Structure 1
Amino acid sequence: MTRFVFAVVLIAGSFQATSSPALADPPDCHGHWFWSYNLELPRGFWPEGWHRYQLRGAFNGAVVFTPEPVFFNVTPEAPTYQGQAQLRFYAVRVYVDGAAVQVSQLNPAQDTYVQVNDDVRGSKTDADAYAASETFEVTWDDGAWTAMPRGPVLSVCAFDPVRLGVWERQWGPRYQP
């Protein structure tokens, strides 16, 4: 009987240990929240030639951050990179040989999207409130400012290194558009 009770306690304890998500998460991810703004552009969006884009961020309706515009050239001589090209605050980034690198030229067939990420430490309620107060917009080639849709506020514990995180588009051999 003693062996049976010990076995039940051991099995129950192992289920508790394996079912606790906190044991699997790195300790510094708790209370750290992130969200992203992504604007998907259709494949073939950029015609050949030089282009510019610019992002701006606002907090409670007041623009607080507008970095300089980014310029890039679209040419058929540029390679088509695996996955999507990211149009970020300061550069166009693509995935090459296992790393995100900056480029100044894209192929007209390159799939692209505009992306901004943000994060905050604190409670989920605080993170939701902060994200709700923040907006981002993008303009390209002297067009109107376009609002970027915000994704959900998620725990950094949700980071998936195989996908390079849910706030980074999936690149690499497992890329799924």
Structure 2
Amino acid sequence: MGRVSQAQAKENRKLVVETAARLFRERGVAGVSVADVMAEAGLTHGGFYKQFASKEALVAEAVGQAFGELAGRLGGTDRASFVAGYLSPEHRDAPGAGCPAAGFGGDLAHESRESTAVPAYAAGIEDYARWLGTDGHEDYAAVATLVGAMVLARATAGTETSDRLLEAAREQLLGKA
């Protein structure tokens, strides 16, 4: 099989990172192998190490990719609409396309401090808090409420508790409607 062009290699890398970002949020980093990512992307496992130094390097890029996707969605909506959509059953039930803070948080809590994914995650959280904030002040409490509620709602999906968690967090952030 012949070599791929630089342009094709760049497209393949982008596809692998996007695929990994989705799969890692759906199944967790530990639940997804390099072979899983490459197969889902329709590429050979052997090509992975031509593009990435390690799975950890892929995780770091996938975190950045996922927060980039979030930033794109934040730019086109107001805070109240975002919060209402975030704290919805639809978002709860679609982790692969969902919030990277909730999707990667549990996994990265177990990473070493030297992990290259942790700074990418922290930068994403900083941007998220700035966007949710007002008057130039970050709103870390809103990020914590959103992410915490989503993690708990996903962990209790299929129960009334899950829906109550989403509702309580919406009321906390948006006020009683």
Asked if Structure 1 and Structure 2 have the same fold, meaning a TM-score greater than 0.5 normalized by the shorter chain, the answer is no
| TM-score (normalised: structure 2) | 0.26
Higher RCO (Cα < 8 Å, 6 or more apart): 1
Higher helix fraction (1 or 2): 2
Higher strand fraction (1 or 2): 1
